[in-house]
Amino acid sequence: MSLVNAAMEKCYIMDKVTVPDGYGGVITTYEKGAEIMAAFSFNSSTTAVVASMQGIDNRHTIYTKKSVLLRFPDIVYRESNEKYYRVTSDGDDKHTPNSATLDLRSVEAEEWEMA
């Protein structure tokens, strides 16, 4: 077992759902979808810290198995801290090669407030 696998925790991909509002329109809501295991790494680079001071949300890297493909603007719910993260990159961009024994894919994400 690798350290990355040991750091993985239960998360959910949030599914976007529209429901009638009772007045002929619709309301967009989110519901827990597929359960996934993911590890999080806080981006504490100088650039990220400066961006945070200028109002840009905290940046994170989310690591999953290669079988989990997250894409912008997917929302991930992290059960351990009850926070939401919006994916800001595409998961098909960064992953380990097929010949590698490490089975990882990564995306960039920002903390997200559900309305």
CATH code at position 107: 2.40.10.270
Instruction: Work out the percent of the chain whose per-residue pLDDT is above 70.
Output: 87
User: Is residue 24 predicted with pLDDT exceeding 60?
Assistant: yes
DSSP letter at 37?
E
Q: How many folded domains does the chain comprise?
A: 1
Cα distance between residue 6 and residue 90, in whole Å: 24
Q: What pLDDT is recorded for position 1? A: 57
- pLDDT (tens digit per residue) in 91-109: 998 999 989 988 999 999 9
Q: What pLDDT is recorded for position 88? A: 93
Number of CB atoms found within 10 A of residue 63's CB: 19
Arithmetic mean of pLDDT over the chain: 89
- pLDDT (tens digit per residue) in 27-62: 999 999 999 999 999 875 555 555 556 666 678 999
CB burial of residue 38 (10 Å; 0-12, 13-18, 19+): buried
Which residue range forms the structural domain that includes residue 82?
3-112
